[in-house]
Amino acid sequence: MLLFLGGLALLAIGYFTYGKLVDRIVGPDDRPTPATRCADGVDFMILPTWKAMLIQLLNIAGIGPVIGVILGIKYGTAAFWIIPVGNIIGGSVHDFVSAMMSMRADGANLPELMRRTCGRFFYGIFSVFMCFLLLLVVAVFINVPASLLDKGFFPQYEFFWIAVAVVFVYYIIATFFPIDQIIGRFYPVFGAVLLLGTLAIFIKLMIDAGQDHSLLLESAEFKANMFTAPKQPILPMLFVTIACGILSGFHATQSPIITRTLKSERDARRCFYGMMVLEGVIAMVWAGAALAIYNHSPALMKQNPNYVLTQITDHFLGSWVGGVTIISVVILAVTSGDTAMRSLRLSLAEMFHVPQQKLVNRVLLCLPLILLTIVLLYWSNRNAQSFNILWNYFAWGNQVLAAATLMGASIWLVSLKKAAIITLAPGMFMTFIVSTYILWIAPERGNGAYGCGIALQYAYCCGIVIAVAAAIASICIGLQKRKLNDPEWLAKK
């Protein structure tokens, strides 16, 4: 109980202390924002700050802070301190600094930011990788809400493919329309449902844990079934299993959507650092609920996390309120999936210089994306193994994106003579994590992902070397840009 509550307190303290330090280092000011410089009535327009904050929260939250932590808490109560620490010095910094980079570059999307920091060669590789990852995100975030609707509300019917079609059609509509017409109107309502559902879980969890403190401890039955080495070592597996809540590369693809709607740079800390901290709170609540349900019913540790989610809501809230909470989780997935597709459209438009004011341009750009998503949906639902493969590559690809973004942010900060350690340290750690994961993982080691399959101790050594090399390269590139006074990073007053 104390570890759980301490983790929540640490998130709040971190926002008001480390968050202010990071804000001071980056230095938001009163220069015109992309929303005023580039207003187009579609993607660039000023929205109220409270609305931009809610949209950002729903964009980044996805299903990670729920499904991810239902899996991640199986590594034990260490997650209760890893989540807040990682969030404060890693995920929130990642979201805030990458957003500020975008604001200073007229709302540029992540591939363009990588071109400016890392050069054209890396930009080409990174762009292909990111677009493929976003397609995976769209497919995953259609599958999961459709599955939850099917199993949670219509278990007696074959509803899954109908739900898939409904969710996908919504994604397409939300992608085409200006941001204030669909996303801007409905997200505040969705955000309220999400926060109320999470609050309901938290209150009931506190009542139950107050009566039985063992619910938030590792019971003997829990320890017998929890993830442990050698098949599930915390390093690297926990940081690939729990992304949203700690650190997620996907967030940097979403932030430019909001950088194009802010009236002032001074709102960035609340919108990006603050909303990531709030996502960490959501992750902590669901991690606590998952630990409690596993202690109550240890057999659930061997069940699919989607099924565990329905059991958590039924156990803590009953069928009616539990159903509302499941809807809030569906909203989490849907409101990240639609903006993932929007981000993909915007990134491709930026790469191929396709203006987006006209609806016909948006439709033509999205047609191949729609076809590719349909192919992914068909393949991933052929059997359970296909979806597991899709999820695994989405999971580690997401963290590769985070490592690359943090290193790009470090180049930017070095070039501007700012304290790059705030991004360099988490960037090195995440580079170590993804390098170790790719070098160590193999199908026989747990989750079916393909990697090099080398011994863990050797993967650790190689991961350290790769992380140090990436850091040195980032510093050198940043110093070179500083020396050349790279015009692409000159402040626009």
The CA distances from residue 43 to 71, 104, 174, 340, in Å, are: 36, 16, 12, 14
Q: What angle do CA 60, 130, 35 make, to 5 degrees?
A: 55
DSSP character string of 1-33: -HHHHHHHHHHHHHHHTHHHHHHHHH---SSPP
Check residue 492 and give its pLDDT.
Answer: 46
| Cα distance between residue 349 and residue 369, in whole Å | 12
| Helical packing angle, 421-440 and 456-484, nearest 10° | 140
| pLDDT (0 to 100) of residue 19 | 97
Among candidates 292, 271, 233, which has minimal Cα distance to 80?
292
Q: Which of 339, 324, 57 is nearest to 188 (CA)?
A: 57
Predicted local distance difference test score (pLDDT) of residue 320: 62
Q: Say if 374 falls within a structural domain.
A: yes
Residue at 414 is within a domain: no
Position 346 scores a pLDDT of 81
- What does the pLDDT look like over 21-63, one tens digit per residue? 999 999 999 999 999 998 888 889 999 999 899 888 888 876 7
State the pLDDT at residue 323: 67
**Nearest-angstrom CA–CA distance, 170 and 343:** 15
Whether 87 maps to a domain, the answer reads yes
DSSP label at residue 325: H
94 in Cβ contact with 252 (< 8 Å): yes
Tracing tokens 């590719």 back to the chain, one arrives at 372
Rounded to whole angstroms, the Cα distance separating 245 from 459 reads 26
pLDDT in tens, 246-255: 999 989 988 9
**Residue 365 within any structural domain of the chain:** yes
DSSP code of residue 232: S
Residue 430 backbone phi and psi in degrees, to 5:
-70, -30
Alpha carbon of residue 484 to chain centroid:
34
> What count of other Cβ atoms lies within 10 Å of the Cβ of residue 402?
30
Is residue 472 domain-resident? Answer: no
The span from the CA of 404 to the CA of 450, in Å, is 21
- pLDDT number for residue 443: 74
Q: Is residue 54 in a domain?
A: yes
Predicted local distance difference test score (pLDDT) of residue 205 = 94
* Residue 100 contacts residue 265 (beta carbons within 8 Å): yes
Q: What is the pLDDT of residue 493?
A: 38
Q: Is 263 exposed, middle or buried (0-12, 13-18, 19+ CB in 10 A)?
A: middle
Buried b (16+ CB within 10 A) or exposed e, 15-51: beebbeebbebbebeeeebbbeeeeeebbbbbbebeb
C-beta of residue 110 within 8 angstroms of C-beta of residue 128: no
Residue 433 lies in a domain: no
Question: Between the CA of residue 188 and those of 138, 194, 245, what are the distances in Å?
Answer: 22, 10, 21
Give the number of domains in the chain: 1
Domain range for 52? 2-402
Has residue 488 been placed in a domain? no
How much is the pTM? 0.88
Kindly report the number of other CB atoms within 10 A of residue 200's CB atom. 19
- Give the separation between CA 314 and CA 320, rounded to whole angstroms: 8
Q: Ramachandran region of residue 290, left (φ > 0), alpha (ψ -120 to 50) or beta?
A: alpha
Alpha helices in 154-229 (DSSP H): 160-176, 183-211, 220-225
**What is the domain-level CATH number for residue 316?**
1.20.1740.10
**Which two three-digit tokens encode residue 172?**
């397409």
Residues of the chain falling short of pLDDT 50: 490-493
